[in-house]
Amino acid sequence: MPYKLVDGVSFDVPEGGVLGIVGESGCGKSVTAMSLLRLNSPAIELTGGQILFGGEDLVRCSDERIRKVRGAEISMIFQEPMTSLNPVFTVGNQIVEALQAHENISEQAARKIAIDFLGHVGIPSPQTRFDNFPHQLSGGMRQRAMIAMALVCKPRLIIADEPTTALDVTIQAQILDLLRRLRAELGMAVIMITHNLGVIAEIADRVVVMYAGRVVERASVGALFDRPAHPYTEGLLASVPPLDRDVDRLPTIVGTVPSPQAMPTGCRFAGRCPYVQDACMRTDPALVSVGQDHAAACIRHTGYSA
């Protein structure tokens, strides 16, 4: 029996902008991201909707076209670099191959660009590192090599799915800095996926909050932090560690995300919401405007009679 993993998710990313997608584990962030490039497992079907990239619908374009888009126009970086890096080839060769797959250039020219990019992403002695296998690099260096590979064709959009989660805090900050710098230099747009609103505050201009396969709030980063309009966002904000003091324990949102096979009727957050009313069990709240360029899906904004 088929069931929906994500549903009615809608957002846009302007050229050169950074959109954050945030939500707990299982909210549908990766399924959404993989759908953009039709990279989901075959068990997952795209049943409708549009993914417009510069006016072209990526849901309906040919397989050949989407293969060209991947890497050259839109590329992805993942939490685990070994998802993209092949352990049996040197990092340099993999970058050269990525370049040659999309551009008609000589091996020598590609090698030079690859070495430049390894330096660009902050890998010391790039000439030597070019000939290293992935296992010869530290975790942070591998992440940088993967970023170099993702950026070498100068894509217009980069989708980063939890790119810093597995790294320690210092390296996380360095990688975020790097992405910010490269974005400014190369003018690419970024979709940054994370479960951490702290990362969003660091890098994004706009943010989409996902819960149980839906968008529950959409806003500029400033508005989201100043005036969160959905109780789930409030809960996520309360669990961001403060930068200025140590805390033993942060509040967490009690309960878990409902599974896609057993979505409750009514508001999907009702089982965990501190403001829940009887009406929330009957009403599936629509995403409505709650301010300029700010929308949320909660009946506290649409009225309890909805």
Ligand X SMILES: Nc1ncnc2c1ncn2[C@@H]1O[C@H](COP(=O)(O)OP(=O)(O)OP(=O)(O)O)[C@@H](O)[C@H]1O
Beta bridge partners of 193: 21, 161
**Tokens, residue 83:** 């998802």
Beta bridge partners of 206: 19, 220
The binder of ligand X chosen from 20, 28, 155, 231 (CB under 6 A): 28
- Chain centroid to Cα 133, Å, comes to 27
CB of 270 to ligand SF4, least distance (A): 4
**Tokens, residue 154:** 């100068």
Is 44 near ligand X (CB under 6 A)? yes
Is 269 near ligand SF4 (CB under 6 A)? yes
The residue range among 41-49, 92-100, 117-125, 217-225 that interacts with ligand X, by the rule CB under 6 A, is: 41-49
Sign of the CA dihedral with 98 first, then 103, 107, and 108 last? negative
CB of 72 to Mg ion, least distance (A): 24
The pattern of x and - marking residues 47 through 86 that bind ligand X according to CB under 6 A reads: ----------------------------------------
Between the alpha carbon of residue 21 and those of residues 13, 37, 191, 209, the distances in Å are: 11, 16, 7, 6
CB of 255 to ligand SF4, least distance (A): 12
The binder of ligand X chosen from 26, 163, 235, 285 (CB under 6 A): 26
**Tokens, residue 146:** 């993967």
Is 30 near Mg ion (CB under 5 A)? yes
**Tokens, residue 103:** 């551009």
Q: Phi and psi dihedrals of 221, rounded to 5?
A: -60, -40
For residue 41, the partner it binds in Mg ion, ligand X, ligand SF4, none, with Cβ less than 5 to 8 A by kind, is ligand X
CB of 147 to ligand X, least distance (A): 19
The residue range among 10-18, 21-29, 49-57, 119-127 that interacts with Mg ion, by the rule CB under 5 A, is: 21-29
Distance CA 282, CA 139 (A): 48
Is 164 near Mg ion (CB under 5 A)? no
The Cα diameter of the chain in Å comes to 68
For residue 28, the partner it binds in ligand SF4, Mg ion, ligand X, none, with Cβ less than 5 to 8 A by kind, is ligand X
Element (H, E) at 144: helix 139-151
52-53 and 56-57 beta bridge pairing: antiparallel
Is 41 near ligand X (CB under 6 A)? yes
Of 92 and 231, which CB lies nearer to ligand SF4 in the complex structure?
231
CB of 239 to ligand X, least distance (A): 14
Which of 64, 15, 58 lies closest to 36 in space, CA to CA? 58
DSSP secondary structure string for all residues of 15-66: TT-EEEEE--TTSSHHHHHHHHTT-S-TTS---S---EETTEETTTS-HHHH
Is 5 near ligand X (CB under 6 A)? yes
Residues that bind ligand SF4 (CB under 6 A): 231, 267, 269-270, 273, 275-277, 280, 285, 298-300
Residues that bind ligand X (CB under 6 A): 5, 23, 25-31, 41, 43-44, 195, 259-260
Residues that bind Mg ion (CB under 5 A): 29-30
